[in-house]
Structure 1
Amino acid sequence: MFEYDVGMSDWSEMAGEDLLVLLSDVQSARNALDARMLGIVAEVEERGLASENGYRDTADLLASLQLVSPGMARARVAGARAVVPQWSLIGEELPAALPATAEAVGAAAVSLEHVTVIRKAMGALPTHLQAAKAESLERDLASIARTVDPDSLRKAAQLALSLLDPDGPRPRDGAPSRNRLRFVERGDGYEAKGWLDSESAAVVRTALSPLAVPVGEHGPGECAEPNCEHGAGERVPDGRSMAERDGDALVELCRRMLDSGALPTEGGERPHLTVTIPLASLQAAGGAGLLEFGDGIGRSVLCAEEVRRLACDGAVVPVVLGSRGEPLDVGRRSRVVTVGMRRALDARDGGCAHPGCGLPARWTEAHHVEHWADGGVTAVDNLVLLCGRHHRLQHKGEWRITMEAGLPVFHPPWWTGIPPSRNLLHRPDLIGAIPAPRPEVRRLPVEELVGV
């Protein structure tokens, strides 16, 4: 039995960087223990020790002996089945059901939470999907899992699944809308309840977006400082939650509509929907497009027919893309980011490009990868979209950005142990379509930390 005094302070004299290295190494050690746990659970199940000792199944045994919740116990059993090789009835070893994930687990690069996300995503795949696509998705999700938290991985998986099976049940022509909204009186106010289909939600959220930007934060554009030395200028952050901002935005939108009958502008142009779809699919009214709501936080997959219908009322901004999906350069010899550049960056990055960040493009700033003051040019391939927080982080100098395959790649500080990565949360259409960033990660002393 292990004993440990959580109050001991033998690291109180450690330098800050050494303490951060230790923090990263301990997480890797936890991942390594997760890997060992899954291997042991698989062996316990293989031997039938649960029934032998009077338990209903292996999950019941784990919940009772390890004092974990039934849900956690089931996750451990399912994770073991997914990443540990099994044995056939004739004694042949069968490869792990999720081989790429198993490799990441063995490298102590992911946690059990990551395994659970990937396992559930693969379980949600349509049965008609080709095996090659399923293998590609699992491999890509395992690669992404090495660089992002489980919640970000879940978002990427959901979008990737939507793109793999975009059609779903086709709506009947003339079918009545299921949109609904009602107000329920609650004390001194009202609670709004309702439901919108994807197309209607896109329209509403696009209209709300320019009015829901946090007060005190910079809108889209360049750094506040002339030479881009400090990221966004310091302002008092907006204390409202996203739900509160959306509520205030809805009231303000209705007020403006009543007063003038015109929607507000944002960034010099009226709100518009952004849809990424191959031109051939749009022309043929086949295939699917990835639609970004005006606030950029939500996305949906629409069939080409729905995209064409939305395009009738929305502003369509053409962006010329290269063969890998990267916008072609529209820069000029100036520090000012032009409207054309900004649109190209919005199309390429989709939002804050820092790994794991889900903030939309409308709440980002254009950052020079090579600073303008250091001779960097104002061109799309030298610019990247960053939210205020990650812009300030970038200017601290420990994170490095390079461009690979026309897309920004972020290199964390060496002591994190995290490999270089891209943020594909805003571009799920590129998952599996571009090569992974070149690895650049040190080996951590996991065996020493685990003590095995």
Structure 2
Amino acid sequence: MSAPDLLTAMRSALGLVEGAPTSAWPQTSDADLRELIAATARLQSAVQRHAALGAGEVARRSRPELGLTGFAQRAGHRTVEEFLKAETGVTGRDAATNVRVGLLDGVLGDALRSGRVAVPAADAIRAGLGFPGDLPADVLDQAAARLCDEATSLDPDRLQRRARELRDELDEAGIGDREKARRGARSLRLVKQPDGMTRIAWLLDPESAAIVTSVYDRATSPRRGGPRFVDPAARERATRLADDDRSTEQLASDAFTELLRQAGSIDQQVLLGGEEPAVRVLVSGDALTTGHGHGVLEGGETVALPTVRRLACAGGVVPIILDGAGRVLDLGRKNRLFSRAQRRALSVRDGGCMWPGCDRPPSWTEAHHIRRWADGGRTDLADGISLCRHHHLRLHDEGWSITRRAGRYWLNPPPGSGRTGAMLETKSRAVREFLAAG
């Protein structure tokens, strides 16, 4: 399509969309509403793609070596981003994204221009894979092509995490450098505001974030839909939090302020539910023995072996033994409730809520008996599975069931519902790697 044809198509589409009656939305049926939402998303994606390609072309015509003769400079703007903000009304962040994506070349650039991937997906893949470094460019292109295929089933956030995982798989030797770069980017700034308040801007590397997230979850999870508690003291604390007239954000602020005030003498029963925050890192015995491999923080972030050894030195090591099916340990039928050790083992094995598509972390899950204890079910790890409260309640209320066959767990739909079941996959990247290696 020539430039005049493209401009004609843009004007035509703009006229049709701007002239469409907005009053029709409340009158649509559910089926039509769903189709209209999908059509709007496709239209928005097409517009975003052309906006990025246009931004990229503006950037090419405004190259630094062109000086004051560059496109943006001749229009009276110092940078391409300033030009885009003034001309299109986008935010500085969106302008920067459009320039980044519009300048992509190779596999990602081709996928963007053809409409194979949308702007957010292309930017997520770019950010997750990073720059070639010691990795051959053709290997990075192959990874990008693979991720473009996966982009149809992953939202941009998950796609970026998947891209980072793939980069770590292809470039294990560079894990330490990337980890060092993330740690070097950490920062905390206090911003005094005119109204007398102070804002904290805190950017955390994965290891630091694991500690802070653990504190935050324990301080607020009962309010935010975390697990139900059976211990009377824990249940009483959860009830207090639920009835507290402070917002969840205010609770978190007060908890962190008190932690800083009390420092090492903090009464954890008051704020954190009785357990110290900790970083748990999973690593295979072979990696520690041979010195080849990497570890994975429980939240899914990759860390280099030197980091694993440092954490082990500082905090000790609790051995967790996995068999070929990913099972952790078996404590028999003695107790009705899963012990703290068992719940920790479940969190390691399952990596969070096992319900398909759920991304709730281990700290938000409950241990579910796949066979009721009253019916002879055992309080063993093999008969337990991690579910967040929402999906735990849904399983019981709607009549779903979970069974174990050949060491794998299957979600079975309610009888006669016509719904489809699924095999449940662990959300723990470390366990997935262990199973794949075995």
Coarse TM-score class (shorter-chain normalised): 0.5 to 0.7
Distance 1:139 1:345, change over 3 A: farther
Q: Is the 8 A contact 1:327 1:348 kept in 2?
A: yes
Q: Which ranges in structure 1 are unaligned for 5 or more consecutive residues?
A: 86-95, 172-176, 225-231, 436-452
Mapping 1:370-449, distance limit 5 Å: 378-381=379-382, 383-395=384-396, 397=398, 427=429, 430=432
Q: Is the 8 A contact 2:413 2:421 kept in 1?
A: yes
User: Normalized against structure 2, the TM-score is what?
Assistant: 0.58
Could you say which structure has the greater relative contact order, defined with CA pairs below 8 angstroms and 6 or more residues apart? Answer: 1
Letter in 1 for 2:177: G
2:104 and 2:186 map into 1 onto residues whose CA distance is: 39
Is 1:153 equivalent to 2:172 in the alignment?
Answer: no
Is 1:332 equivalent to 2:339 in the alignment?
Answer: no
1:245 and 1:222 map into 2 onto residues whose CA distance is: 20
Deviation larger for 330-339 or 129-138: 129-138
Q: Which position in structure 2 is the counterpart of 1:128?
A: 135
Mapping 1:61-80, distance limit 5 Å: 69=90, 70=95, 74=99, 77=102
Quote how far apart the aligned CAs of 1:279 are. 1.4
Q: Is the 8 A contact 2:401 2:412 kept in 1?
A: yes
Q: Which position in structure 2 is the counterpart of 1:228?
A: none
Letter in 2 for 1:282: L
Q: Which position in structure 1 is the counterpart of 2:297?
A: 291
Q: Is the 8 A contact 2:408 2:423 kept in 1?
A: no
Q: Secondary structure at the match of 1:319?
A: coil
Letter in 2 for 1:274: R
Is 1:5 equivalent to 2:14 in the alignment?
Answer: no
Deviations 1:145-181 (A, max 9, x none): 444432343344445545643121798xxxxx99998
Mapping 1:60-139, distance limit 5 Å: 69=90, 70=95, 74=99, 77=102, 82=107, 112-124=119-131, 126-128=133-135, 135=142, 139=146
Quote how far apart the aligned CAs of 1:404 are. 9.3
Is 1:279 equivalent to 2:295 in the alignment?
Answer: no
Q: Which ranges in structure 2 are unaligned for 5 or more consecutive residues?
A: 1-15, 62-69, 73-79, 232-238
Q: Is the 8 A contact 1:181 1:195 kept in 2?
A: yes
1:432 and 1:139 map into 2 onto residues whose CA distance is: 22
1:40 and 1:160 map into 2 onto residues whose CA distance is: 28
Q: Which position in structure 2 is the counterpart of 1:301?
A: 302
Quote how far apart the aligned CAs of 1:8 are. 2.2
Quote how far apart the aligned CAs of 1:290 are. 1.6
Q: Is the 8 A contact 1:147 1:355 kept in 2?
A: no
Quote how far apart the aligned CAs of 1:274 are. 0.8
Deviations 1:234-278 (A, max 9, x none): 955885455861552352364273477x99997776443210112
1:116 and 1:409 map into 2 onto residues whose CA distance is: 35
Mapping 1:15-414, distance limit 5 Å: 19=30, 25-26=35-36, 28-30=38-40, 69=90, 70=95, 74=99, 77=102, 82=107, 112-124=119-131, 126-128=133-135, 135=142, 139=146, 142-143=149-150, 145-158=151-164, 160-161=166-167, 164=171, 165-168=174-177, 201=208, 205=212, 208-209=215-216, 212-216=219-223, 220=227, 235=242, 240-241=247-248, 245=252, 248-252=255-259, 254-255=261-262, 257-258=264-265, 270-292=276-298, 300-323=301-324, 326-328=326-328, 330=330, 332-333=332-333, 335-354=336-355, 358-368=359-369, 378-381=379-382, 383-395=384-396, 397=398
Q: Is the 8 A contact 2:191 2:199 kept in 1?
A: yes
Letter in 2 for 1:212: A
Q: Secondary structure at the match of 1:166?
A: helix
User: Normalized against structure 1, the TM-score is what?
Assistant: 0.57
1:75 and 1:185 map into 2 onto residues whose CA distance is: 32
Letter in 1 for 2:342: M
Deviations 1:76-101 (A, max 9, x none): 7568975686xxxxxxxxxx599xxx
Q: Which position in structure 2 is the counterpart of 1:449?
A: none
**RMSD over equivalenced CA pairs, Å:** 6.0
Deviations 1:106-138 (A, max 9, x none): 6xxx75433432244345454425856864575
Q: Secondary structure at the match of 1:309?
A: helix
Distance 1:241 1:111, change over 3 A: farther
Distance 1:429 1:211, change over 3 A: closer
Counting aligned pairs with the same residue, the percent is 24
Q: Is the 8 A contact 1:351 1:361 kept in 2?
A: yes
Q: Secondary structure at the match of 1:114?
A: helix
Deviations 1:214-249 (A, max 9, x none): 45467657789xxxxxxx9x9558854558615523
Quote how far apart the aligned CAs of 1:196 are. 7.2
Q: Is the 8 A contact 1:214 1:245 kept in 2?
A: no
Q: Is the 8 A contact 1:368 1:383 kept in 2?
A: yes
Q: Secondary structure at the match of 1:168?
A: helix
Q: How many residues align?
A: 377
Letter in 2 for 1:301: T
Distance 1:367 1:124, change over 3 A: farther
Distance 1:428 1:75, change over 3 A: farther
Letter in 2 for 1:290: V
Quote how far apart the aligned CAs of 1:346 are. 0.7
Letter in 2 for 1:128: L
Letter in 2 for 1:332: G
2:355 and 2:155 map into 1 onto residues whose CA distance is: 13
Letter in 2 for 1:341: Q
1:112 and 1:149 map into 2 onto residues whose CA distance is: 12
